């Protein structure tokens, strides 16, 4: 497990907005991040069970390129079933914002310095692009300490770049997440144009350092199944990024080598966007609810 220095869990959250939603509440917060060095935003959905005083399981959702902390909350429709299942949803932003880094807004040609859920080691990104440390050592400890959620019942789900983040963070930090799933994830970023461009900028040209953030390489190196209850992945077969960017077959092969149970569902006619996510997200919520309650 990668060792990360924790930040203070008692930091102040500014509530930006609050919305009643299926008997629960969808809130959006901002806080000053000690590890990023900039203000960061996140969404938190609390189901009615949490509002009534229960400690509930927590599902972390990592969004993809060009998204923010609001995208999943607004577009996926996940709160309806999360309310029924008694599942809290944490939706962090994807990346630092407003660092003033030259080229920040278009550095990867697909959004604001897309964070890739890792800690950059190269200038100028290393000063603020520390998304792995931020999530694992700052935001999650704050949420565990300040929200009515169960630390030992935390799962992680992500889409596209966020799917890469969910898979890699779950494999890099065993014991933190009890359940794992992904939607159209980038499974082998060391092989695809998006990942190679980002890793070259964030981690430098020494490709030997890249494998530590590649889900397929990480799974290939596992001595036994890290998630014996199974990992769920959904993928649209009409996804225009499937062949060049996602490399699902590499992760599927790595899971077979490690003996990791994997349910990989391929759906004809579905693309990479939120119409696809909204169509399959309920199965992911049920997947996590089952494993988090076990």
Instruction: Flag whether pLDDT at 7 surpasses 60.
Output: no
Confidence of residue 64 (pLDDT cuts 50, 70, 90): very high
- Taking only the tens place, the pLDDT of each residue in 15-56 is 999 999 999 999 999 999 999 999 999 999 999 999 999 999
Average pLDDT, the chain: 94
The verdict on whether 239 is a catalytic residue reads yes
- Percent of the chain topping pLDDT 70: 93
Instruction: Flag whether pLDDT at 110 surpasses 50.
Output: no
Q: What is the DSSP letter of 9?
A: T
Which of 239, 284, 287, 288 is flagged as catalytic?
Answer: 239
Structure tokens at 214: 């590649």
**Rounded-to-integer distance, Cα 145 and Cα 150, Å:** 9
Which of 160, 179, 181, 216 is flagged as catalytic?
Answer: 160
Q: What is the DSSP letter of 6?
A: P
Structure tokens at 143: 């949420």
Give the model's pLDDT for residue 114.
Answer: 86
> Region 99-125: what's the mean pLDDT?
76
Taking the complete model, does pTM exceed 0.85, yes or no? yes
Which of 173, 272, 287, 288 is flagged as catalytic?
Answer: 272
Contacts of 249 (CB under 8 A, 6+ apart): none
The DSSP element (H or E) to which 88 belongs, if any, is strand 88-92
**Rounded-to-integer distance, Cα 288 and Cα 201, Å:** 34
The verdict on whether 179 is a catalytic residue reads no
Instruction: Flag whether pLDDT at 97 surpasses 60.
Output: yes
Give the β-pairing of 231-236 and 149-159. Answer: unpaired
Confidence of residue 100 (pLDDT cuts 50, 70, 90): confident
The verdict on whether 272 is a catalytic residue reads yes
- Taking only the tens place, the pLDDT of each residue in 194-247 is 999 999 999 999 999 999 999 999 999 999 999 999 999 999 999 999 999 999
């Amino acid at each position: 497990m990668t060792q990360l220095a924790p930040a203070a869990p008692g930091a102040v959250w500014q509530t930006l907005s609050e919305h009643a939603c299926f008997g629960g509440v969808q809130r959006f917060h901002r806080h000053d991040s000690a590890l990023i060095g900039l203000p960061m935003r996140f969404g938190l959905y609390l189901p009615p069970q949490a509002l009534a005083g229960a400690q509930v399981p927590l599902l972390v959702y990592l969004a993809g390129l060009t998204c923010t902390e609001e995208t999943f909350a607004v577009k996926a429709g996940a709160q309806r079933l999360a309310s029924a299942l008694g599942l809290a949803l944490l939706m962090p932003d994807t990346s630092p914002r407003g660092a003033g880094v030259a080229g920040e807004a278009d550095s990867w040609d697909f959004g604001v310095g897309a964070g890739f859920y890792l800690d950059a080691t190269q200038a100028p990104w290393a000063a603020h692009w520390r998304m792995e440390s931020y999530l694992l050592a700052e935001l999650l400890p704050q949420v565990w300490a300040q929200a009515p959620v169960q630390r030992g019942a935390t799962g992680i789900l992500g889409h596209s770049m966020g799917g890469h983040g969910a898979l890699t963070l779950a494999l890099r930090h065993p014991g933190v997440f009890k359940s794992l799933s992904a939607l159209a994830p980038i499974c082998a970023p060391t092989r695809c144009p998006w990942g190679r461009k980002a890793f070259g900028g964030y981690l430098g040209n020494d490709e030997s350092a890249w494998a530590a953030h590649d889900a397929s390489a990480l799974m290939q190196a596992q001595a036994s199944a890290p998630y014996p209850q199974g990992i769920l992945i959904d993928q649209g077969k009409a996804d225009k990024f499937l062949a060049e960017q996602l490399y699902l077959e590499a992760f599927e092969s790595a899971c077979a080598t490690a003996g990791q149970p994997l349910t990989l569902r391929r759906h004809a006619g579905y693309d990479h966007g939120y119409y696809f996510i909204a169509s399959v997200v309920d199965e992911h919520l049920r997947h996590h609810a089952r494993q988090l309650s076990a």
